[in-house]
């Protein structure tokens, strides 16, 4: 599918979300837009693309952006980042924050919530080391429908069987008629809020740890660089950034640098942790 309407749609999606669509993605675009075209009574994807080019409502544009985003996520995705959080990131932070006794963690592009709830489980499982601390997990995504799902804390059998050990499922979830509900103890640690990574990080505050995983892969290099700069500005000097296993800053940004031996873990290039390393 190549047409002025398709080219306009690619520009629109890039402008709204950063997501890069190329002519080779036409099949993906078509399969994801078809249900929306039917739901809107437009019949075909071509009609939907034409309407989006002619001038559609903000709500329809937002729906089209949402369906083009990949929301795949699961608990303790890739395992290693969560082990690094527990074993390499939190111990020095706990030592450094003994006076404030507070930690802030940002899950940027959190999708349906499995990532921030996994982080909450790790924090809870630190036991007495974090007892009485103020723990704030901010979980953001550009998609409001996926945030609504995340904030219910309700997952089906398939979702709880992806990445969760039976022990964690028993400890942190309760069976309900519609699925498995995250315990209130974890839910109250996580705040969900809409946020588009293209809009920078002003107003979000400063974070000790940032998870920005499996989202940079969808952007072009300049967008990745801008987002990494924004993320760096939102990090404490001794903070940590965790990226996805297919993501790297090499050749993209010098705002953060890899922590040797810990794949996917980054520290601010000019940060306190880097200076003392």
Ligand X SMILES: C[S@@+](CC[C@H](N)C(=O)[O-])C[C@H]1O[C@@H](n2cnc3c(N)ncnc32)[C@H](O)[C@@H]1O
State yes or no: residue 213 binds ligand X (CB under 6 A).
yes
Partner residues linked to 102 by β-bridges: 134
Binder among 5, 115, 208, 257 for ligand X (CB under 6 A): 115
Rg (CA), the chain: 20
Q: Interface residues for ligand X in 235-254 (CB under 6 A)?
A: 244
Q: In the set 13, 42, 146, 273, which binds ligand X (CB under 6 A)?
A: 146
Q: How far apart are CA 109 and CA 123, in angstroms?
A: 20
Catalytic residue list contains 141: yes
152 burial via Cβ count (<10 Å: 0-12, 13-18, 19+): middle
Out of 139, 142, 216, 235, the only residue in the binding site for ligand X (CB under 6 A) is 142
Candidate residues 63, 118, 143, 201; the one interacting with ligand X per rule CB under 6 A: 143
Query: Which range binds ligand X by CB under 6 A, 64-72, 93-101, 201-209, 257-265?
Result: 64-72
Separate counts of helices (H) and strands (E) for the chain: 13, 10
Q: Which candidate, 177, 175, 217, 192, places its Cα nearest to that of 70?
A: 217
Length of the chain: 277
Q: Any contact of residue 164 with ligand X (CB under 6 A)? A: no
Using the minimum distance from each CB to ligand X, give the nearer residue, 70 or 87: 70
Report if residue 67 touches ligand X, rule: CB under 6 A. Answer: no
């Amino acid at each position: 599918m190549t047409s002025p309407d398709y080219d306009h749609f690619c520009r629109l999606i890039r402008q709204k979300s950063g997501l890069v669509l190329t002519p080779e993605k036409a099949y993906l675009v078509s399969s994801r837009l078809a249900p929306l075209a039917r739901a809107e009574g437009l019949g075909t994807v071509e009609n939907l693309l034409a309407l989006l080019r002619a001038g559609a409502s903000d709500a329809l544009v937002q729906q089209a952006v949402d369906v083009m985003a990949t929301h795949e996520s699961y608990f303790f995705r890739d395992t290693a980042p969560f082990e690094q959080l527990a074993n390499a990131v939190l111990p020095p932070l706990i030592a450094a924050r003994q006076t404030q006794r507070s930690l802030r963690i940002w899950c940027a592009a959190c999708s349906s919530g499995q990532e921030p709830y996994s982080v909450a489980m790790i924090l809870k499982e630190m036991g007495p080391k974090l007892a009485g601390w103020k723990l704030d997990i901010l979980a953001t995504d550009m998609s409001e429908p996926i945030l609504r799902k995340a904030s219910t804390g309700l997952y089906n059998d398939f979702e709880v069987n992806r990445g969760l050990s039976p022990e964690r499922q028993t400890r942190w979830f309760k069976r309900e008629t519609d699925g498995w509900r995250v315990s209130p103890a974890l839910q109250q640690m996580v705040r969900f809020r809409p946020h588009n990574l293209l809009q920078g990080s002003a107003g979000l505050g400063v974070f000790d740890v940032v998870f920005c995983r499996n989202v940079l892969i969808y952007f072009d290099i300049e967008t990745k660089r801008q987002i990494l700069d924004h993320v760096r500005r939102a990090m404490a000097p001794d903070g940590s950034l965790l990226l996805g296993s297919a993501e790297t800053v090499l050749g993209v940004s010098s705002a953060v640098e890899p922590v040797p031996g810990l794949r996917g873990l980054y520290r601010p290039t000019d940060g306190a942790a880097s200076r003392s390393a």
